[in-house]
Amino acid sequence: MSDKIHVRLAVHGMTCAGCEDHVREALHSVGAENIETNFRRGEATFDIHDETSIETAKHAIAETGYKAGDAEVLNHLKGESTSSTGQCDYDLLIIGSGGAAFSAAIQAVSYGAKVGMIERGTIGGTCVNIGCVPSKTLLRAGEINHNAQRNPFAGLQTNAGPVDLKTLVAEKDKLVAGLRQHKYIDLIDDYGFELRQGEARFLDENTVEVNGDRITAQTFLIATGASPAVPNIPGLEDVDYLVSTTALELQEVPQRLAVIGSGYIAMELGQLYHNLGAEVTLMQRSERVLKHYDPEISEVVSQDLTEQGIHLITEATFNQVEKDGYIKRVHITVNGQEHVVEAEQLLVATGRRPNVDTLNLKAANVKVGERGEVVVDEYLRTTNPRIYAAGDVTMGPQFVYVAAHEGWVVAENAVRGSNRKVDLQHVPGVTFTNPSIATVGLTEEQAKVQGYEVITSVLSLDAVPRALVNRETTGVFKLVADAKTRKLLGAHVVAENAGDVIYAATLVVKFGLTIEDLKETMAPYLTMAEGIKLATLTFDKDVSKLSCCAG
């Protein structure tokens, strides 16, 4: 092995597994070894004598009717596969099987690394199984039910019948199972990494134990995600409360739902059950919802929740939780007055905690922070430089697209030897309520703390033509800019389809475009994205005095 080089070669024209066999036979005929072909990626990886032999390999492939493209001599782990030398079982061993794990595995395999993955539970991690996918499909069902009961157009008569939650949940489960199979399980064979089912526990800095087996690796990735955190409230442990996972498994809509917490999970699931017909009360300790957002955002979200009929309680002190038959009682104090909130179901949505308890990280010389999170540097290395961590276990932004990006960075650094840094300055975030909440970049307060001289633009949704024709005008656009350079520093939106709108703002903030740059662009009329353009104009003029399309 040490006398040969490891090559990745682009191969054009492969369309099926049979094509892979033909290319593999051609490479074998010229002395290539350890051949892997993949028609989906349009490439072959193999070991061959030296760089001059690559042309011979290309010629052999051409004779089979396929076209060989660019070749790359892979230099992962200093050009030598540790797994082939017998030193370690894997080049990269990944603990977890969610977005970060699969992203890292796919990228690492493309560099010729031998990759292993360990999963103690269900393959696919939080997003596809118990997070984004199941919650968003049920949220959509709730929106449809809500709109059928109440629409803003005079002249339309719509109505909704009883909600069959059992059927909705069954359909949700079917969707989740399909995506898990196609987007995760099937990829294991497609890309050729190895999956082991079981609990991983570090024995030392380069060894884990799984089901009694000792497994070694040159590098590791901890991508074990996070789970719902539960606050210490007297009596709570004696009550059969819901968390974000179990709230998506209910078979009947409760008459009343009480929610402890008012972050994005609490608001999404609270609105879901409100839209399905439950009476919902959101309770929180802080003085306003979304306390880390700009005040204009918090204000309009509070207004919208209240207008929809959701009960919102702020500045609450939680004294006790008790159960009386099917009824849960939450005893709180608000402004010195004691209150009791009763409900058939109680949802606890007060944040998340990293899944690290069983890993025995001390044995691997991996340190954790105050919240139990795995501490990483800007290259996603832990305090043990051979062990990396990515995704929710680091308690960074809790988004699957952040986890996937970080997994890719880990593969680049751990396997290819790169020094890629993770840049999380411009991560867009979306809360999928209706209207939705989307944000990117700095808030006004954050910009001032960082020393910027700030100018802002705040545009009510009733100034956006798309909102007017939709007859849904509760919302806001807020832009934050540097007064000196006029570059946009942040964008914050509460509106229908805010999640779609925020991507354009992400590009503006990331690449340092100015107010003038945005003014010179044309926004399509009667789209919610036009609100970004109108909010830009609001820096210098009153858009209510403009005619339609007169930007």
* pLDDT tier, 295 (very low <50, low <70, confident <90, very high otherwise): very high
Residues 6+ apart with CB under 8 A from 166: 251, 252
Tell me the per-residue pLDDT of 141-196, one tens digit each, with 9 for 90 and over. 999 999 999 888 999 999 999 999 999 999 999 999 999 999 999 999 999 999 99
Residue 232 CB coordination number (10 Å): 7
* pLDDT tier, 44 (very low <50, low <70, confident <90, very high otherwise): confident
Task: Collapse the DSSP code of 419 into the 3-class scheme (helix H, G, I; strand E, B; otherwise coil) and give the result.
Answer: coil
pLDDT value, residue 120: 95
Between CA 484 and CA 390 the distance in angstroms is 37
Q: Which CATH number fits domain 91-139+166-227+353-414: 3.50.50.60, 1.10.10.10, 3.40.1190.20, 3.10.20.30?
A: 3.50.50.60
* pLDDT tier, 541 (very low <50, low <70, confident <90, very high otherwise): confident
Between CA 448 and CA 490 the distance in angstroms is 12
pLDDT value, residue 546: 64
pLDDT value, residue 165: 97
pLDDT value, residue 50: 83
Max Cα distance, the chain (Å) = 85
550 or 112: which leads in pLDDT:
112
Judge whether 459 and 476 are in contact, CB under 8 Å.
yes
Q: Which residues pair with 204 in a beta bridge?
A: 207
Active site residue 88: no
Between CA 450 and CA 511 the distance in angstroms is 18
| pLDDT of 259 strictly over 90 | yes
Query: In this prediction, what percent of the chain has a pLDDT beyond 70?
Result: 95
Tell me the per-residue pLDDT of 362-371, one tens digit each, with 9 for 90 and over. 999 999 999 9
Instruction: Judge if 5-73 and 429-545 fold alike in CATH terms.
Output: no
The answer regarding whether domain 236-349 maps to CATH 3.50.50.60 reads yes
Judge whether 270 and 259 are in contact, CB under 8 Å.
yes
Q: For 41-45, 397-401, 402-406, which range has the lowest pLDDT when averaged over its residues?
A: 41-45
Q: For 26-35, 71-80, 341-350, which range has the lowest pLDDT when averaged over its residues?
A: 71-80
pLDDT value, residue 261: 94
pLDDT value, residue 293: 93
Q: Which residues pair with 548 in a beta bridge?
A: none
Residue 246 CB coordination number (10 Å): 15
pLDDT value, residue 314: 95
As a three-state string, the secondary structure of 345-409 is EEEECCCEEECCCCCCHHHHCCCECCCCCECCCCCCECCCCCEEECHHHHCCCCCHHHHHHHHHH
Measured at the CA of 116, the angle between CA 115 and CA 122, to 5 degrees, comes to 135
pLDDT value, residue 118: 98
Of all helices (H) and strands (E), which one includes residue 17? helix 17-29
pLDDT value, residue 510: 95
Of all helices (H) and strands (E), which one includes residue 174? helix 165-180
Active site residue 132: yes
Residues 6+ apart with CB under 8 A from 172: 134, 137, 138, 248
Active site residue 549: yes
Please identify which of the residues 19, 379, 401, 503 carries the catalytic annotation.
19
Please identify which of the residues 1, 326, 525, 549 carries the catalytic annotation.
549
Query: In this prediction, what percent of the chain has a pLDDT beyond 90?
Result: 83
Cα dihedral across residues 162, 323, 266, 406: positive or negative: negative
Q: For 17-26, 159-168, 274-283, which range has the lowest pLDDT when averaged over its residues?
A: 17-26
Judge whether 407 and 223 are in contact, CB under 8 Å.
yes
Q: For 16-25, 71-80, 159-168, 399-408, which range has the lowest pLDDT when averaged over its residues?
A: 71-80
User: What pTM value is reported for the model?
Assistant: 0.83
> What is the domain partition of the chain in residue ranges?
5-73, 91-139+166-227+353-414, 236-349, 429-545
Q: For 274-288, 462-476, 495-509, 529-543, which range has the lowest pLDDT when averaged over its residues?
A: 529-543
Rounded to an integer, the average pLDDT of 427-455 is 96
Please identify which of the residues 88, 117, 127, 283 carries the catalytic annotation.
127
Q: Where are the beta strands (DSSP E) in 402-487?
A: 429-431, 436-441, 454-460, 476-482
pLDDT value, residue 84: 37
| pLDDT of 75 strictly over 90 | no
pLDDT value, residue 34: 86
Rounded to an integer, the average pLDDT of 10-27 is 89
The answer regarding whether domain 429-545 maps to CATH 3.40.50.2300 reads no
Rounded to an integer, the average pLDDT of 349-353 is 95
Q: State the chain's mean pLDDT as an integer.
A: 92
CB-hemisphere CA count at 13 Å for 171?
10
CATH T-level fold of 5-73: Alpha-Beta Plaits (3.30.70)
pLDDT value, residue 197: 96
pLDDT value, residue 18: 85
Between CA 99 and CA 407 the distance in angstroms is 8
Rounded to an integer, the average pLDDT of 251-261 is 97
Cα–chain center distance at 108:
21
Please identify which of the residues 88, 132, 293, 326 carries the catalytic annotation.
132
Return the structure tokens found at 7: 């090559």
Judge whether 445 and 474 are in contact, CB under 8 Å.
no
Judge whether 320 and 284 are in contact, CB under 8 Å.
no
Return the closest-CA partner of residue 196 out of 81, 95, 88, 91: 95
Please identify which of the residues 1, 16, 326, 525 carries the catalytic annotation.
16
CB-hemisphere CA count at 13 Å for 79?
8
CA torsion, ordered 391, 396, 401, 405, to nearest 10 deg:
-70
Judge whether 315 and 334 are in contact, CB under 8 Å.
yes
pLDDT value, residue 10: 87
Residue 240 CB coordination number (10 Å): 10
pLDDT value, residue 550: 53
Return the closest-CA partner of residue 515 out of 454, 474, 460, 462: 454
| pLDDT of 99 strictly over 50 | yes
Rounded to the nearest 10 degrees, what angle do helices 17-29 and 52-63 cross at?
Answer: 130
* pLDDT tier, 548 (very low <50, low <70, confident <90, very high otherwise): low
pLDDT value, residue 60: 93
